[in-house]
């Protein structure tokens, strides 16, 4: 099915998943305005949010089944398999977060049904980021996602740690958004457009590969996205925010936010800046520092939640290896790894939520001693998650890392592949 996105009817079909999720979020907002006082109201809001996510997922599946593609002039929205698969990852992650949140919110006496409204709006922002084929769409979507996640991080108004996490995330997030917007402005100044396809055409036609304004703009874009994916040295917010936020939201930030940011970054670099070679070296350096620093600092952690936070930083480094290749094989490896990592990391944070109280900030690694005797199935699940995050043979994490290694070696990135293996050995600690 070919859609001409210059026609409003076809544009509505192209944006069907986002429109469905928007309608669900607005309906839920109205329901929450009337029913927000009891645990049953909380469960109702959670059920409605699950229904909205399922409907949006069905719309994504329908577009994928119809092999929807964009025809005509370059548009602001992309229609391709990459968008549909990553939309599925984000929607699935959000649905699992809702399921984990049912018991968690009641246990922590967080009777705030607006939690689910914010979750839907954050997911909507992620889907628009993933499908954005224009820098302005990507920026607006990123802000929609970010504002909702800032509030979700501090949704527990009884917790000083949650308030600190939300404030740190907001301040540093606003700073990173400034870098991103300045980068967009400079890229527009150099090429005269914000459409990704047209930027790539302008660079090739005008020989702008070494244009200083374009290169500075690209550098600022990388800084902005480096913050969103928690790449070193832009990761300083991640441990404190992950530690202070409610555990289901921590899992959501470590998976869905990361997936959406990586999907947008890959699309921007491959569609707009494929003719600019310098970003490969920059991403190469970010990947190395993120893998090394993330794994080494994770070794020093004694609380489970902060250890998983630094593990998330290290996994951002593995994903940056796939980005650095700049190939279709690298993009495919990134998508597979995002699926595997999202499932395993969400499961790990769900188990953390089940083992503690009051935000799980006090759950130390030593506290897990004897867990197999007290709760054997929980211990087994946590062991499987840890082995998969490590990349143990036979797990999804191993297969994902294998695909990234294959993509890196095919692209001639042998040193980067070797560092990935060595840092994975460090993560075994």
pLDDT tens profile 189-231: 999 999 999 999 999 888 888 899 999 999 999 999 999 888 8
User: Which pLDDT score is estimated for 361?
Assistant: 59
User: Which pLDDT score is estimated for 421?
Assistant: 87
User: Which pLDDT score is estimated for 31?
Assistant: 92
Distances (CA, A) of 39 to 43, 106, 208: 6, 7, 58
* Closest C-alpha among 288, 265, 289 to residue 413: 288
Task: Work out the number of other CB atoms within 10 angstroms of the CB of residue 298.
Answer: 21
> What number of residues does the chain have?
429
User: Which pLDDT score is estimated for 312?
Assistant: 87
Contact criterion met (CB below 8 Å) for 287 and 416? yes
Q: Tens digit of pLDDT for each residue in 359-380? A: 555 667 766 777 777 778 877 8
Contact criterion met (CB below 8 Å) for 279 and 208? no
User: Which pLDDT score is estimated for 124?
Assistant: 96
User: Which pLDDT score is estimated for 360?
Assistant: 56
Q: Tens digit of pLDDT for each residue in 256-302? A: 999 999 999 999 999 889 888 889 899 999 999 999 988 888 887 77
Which 3-state string (H, E, C) describes the chain?
Answer: CEEECCCHHHHHHHCHHHHHHHHHHHHHHHHHHHCCCCHHHHHHHHHHHHHHHHHHHHHHHHHHHCCCEEECCCCCECCCHHHHHHHHHHHHHHHHHHHHHHHHHHHCCCCCCHHHHHHHHHHHHHHHHHHECEHHHHHHHHHHHHHHHHHHHCCCCCCHHHHHHHHHHHHHHHHHHHHHHHHHHHHHHHHCCCEHHHHHHHHHHHCCCCCHHHHHHHHHHHHHHHHHCCCCCCCCCHHHHHHHCCHHHHHHHHHHHHHHHHHHHHHHHHHCCCCCCHHHHHHHHHHHHHHHHHHHHHHCCCEHHHHHHHHHHHHHHHHHHHHHHCCHHHHHHHHHHHHHHHHHHHHHHHHHHHHCCHHHCCCEHHHHCCHHHHCHHHHHHHHHHHHHHHCCCCCHHHHHHHHHHHHHHHCCCHHHHHHHHHHHHHHCC
Contacts of 283 (CB under 8 A, 6+ apart): 222, 269, 320, 323, 324
Q: What is the pLDDT along the chain (429 residues), one digit of tens a residue?
A: 888 787 888 888 989 999 999 999 999 999 998 887 778 888 899 999 999 999 999 999 999 998 888 877 778 888 888 999 999 999 999 999 999 988 888 887 788 889 999 999 999 999 999 999 999 999 999 999 999 999 999 888 888 888 888 898 999 888 889 999 999 999 999 999 999 999 999 998 888 888 999 999 999 999 999 998 888 888 888 888 888 888 889 899 989 999 999 999 999 999 889 888 889 899 999 999 999 988 888 887 777 788 888 888 889 999 999 999 888 888 899 999 999 988 888 888 888 777 766 555 566 776 677 777 777 887 788 888 888 888 788 888 889 889 999 999 998 888 888 998 888 888 777
The C-alpha angle with vertex 88 and arms to 106 and 342, in degrees rounded to 5, equals 60
Contact criterion met (CB below 8 Å) for 18 and 52? no
Q: Are strands 69-71 and 2-4 parallel, antiparallel or unpaired?
A: parallel
| CA 42/CA 22 separation, integer angstroms | 20
Region at 276 (left for phi over 0; alpha for psi -120 to 50; beta for the rest): beta
Helical packing angle, 414-427 and 304-325, nearest 10°: 170
User: Which pLDDT score is estimated for 246?
Assistant: 87
Buried b (16+ CB within 10 A) or exposed e, 183-210: bbebbbebbebbbbbbbbbbbeeeebee
User: Which pLDDT score is estimated for 306?
Assistant: 82
Q: Residue ranges per domain, the chain?
A: 2-427
User: Which pLDDT score is estimated for 366?
Assistant: 67
Helical packing angle, 16-34 and 114-131, nearest 10°: 170
User: Which pLDDT score is estimated for 232?
Assistant: 85
| CA 85/CA 386 separation, integer angstroms | 25
């Amino acid at each position: 099915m070919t859609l001409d996105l210059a026609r409003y009817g076809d544009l509505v079909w192209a944006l069907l998943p986002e429109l469905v999720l928007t309608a669900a979020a607005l309906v839920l907002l109205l329901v929450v305005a009337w029913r927000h006082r009891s645990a049953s109201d909380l469960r109702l809001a959670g059920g409605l949010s699950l229904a909205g996510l399922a409907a949006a997922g069905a719309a994504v599946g329908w577009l994928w089944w119809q092999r929807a593609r964009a025809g005509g002039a370059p548009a602001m929205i992309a229609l391709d398999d990459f968008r549909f698969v990553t939309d599925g990852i984000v929607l699935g992650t959000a649905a699992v977060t809702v399921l984990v949140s049912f018991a968690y919110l009641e246990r922590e006496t967080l009777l705030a049904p607006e939690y689910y409204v914010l979750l839907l709006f954050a997911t909507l922002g992620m889907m628009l980021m993933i499908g954005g084929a224009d820098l302005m769409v990507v920026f607006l979507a990123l802000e929609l996602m970010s504002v909702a996640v800032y509030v979700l991080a501090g949704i527990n108004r009884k917790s000083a740690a949650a308030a600190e996490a939300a404030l740190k995330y907001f301040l540093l997030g606003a700073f990173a958004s400034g870098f991103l917007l300045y980068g967009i402005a400079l890229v527009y100044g150099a090429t005269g457009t914000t459409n990704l396809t047209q930027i790539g055409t302008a660079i090739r036609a005008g020989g702008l590969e070494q244009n200083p304004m374009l290169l500075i703009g690209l550098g600022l874009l990388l800084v902005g996205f480096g913050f969103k994916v928690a790449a070193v040295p832009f990761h300083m917010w991640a441990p404190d925010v992950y530690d202070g936020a409610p555990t289901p939201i921590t899992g959501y930030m470590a998976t869905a936010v990361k997936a959406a940011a990586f999907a947008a970054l890959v699309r921007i670099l491959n569609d707009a800046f494929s003719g600019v070679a310098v970003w490969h070296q920059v991403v190469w350096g970010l990947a190395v520092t993120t893998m090394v620093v993330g794994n080494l600092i994770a070794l020093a952690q004694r609380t489970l939640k902060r250890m998983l936070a630094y593990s998330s930083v290290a996994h951002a480094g593995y994903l940056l290896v796939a980005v650095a290749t700049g190939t279709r094989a690298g993009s495919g490896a990134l998508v597979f790894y995002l699926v595997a990592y999202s499932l395993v990391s969400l499961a790990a944070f769900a188990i953390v939520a089940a083992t503690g109280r009051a935000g799980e900030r006090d759950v130390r690694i030593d506290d897990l001693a004897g867990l197999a005797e007290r709760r054997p199935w929980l211990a087994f699940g946590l062991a499987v998650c840890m082995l998969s995050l490590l990349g143990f043979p036979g797990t999804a994490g191993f297969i994902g890392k294998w695909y990234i290694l294959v993509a890196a070696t095919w692209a001639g990135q042998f040193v980067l592949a070797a560092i990935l293996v060595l840092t994975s050995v460090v993560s075994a600690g």
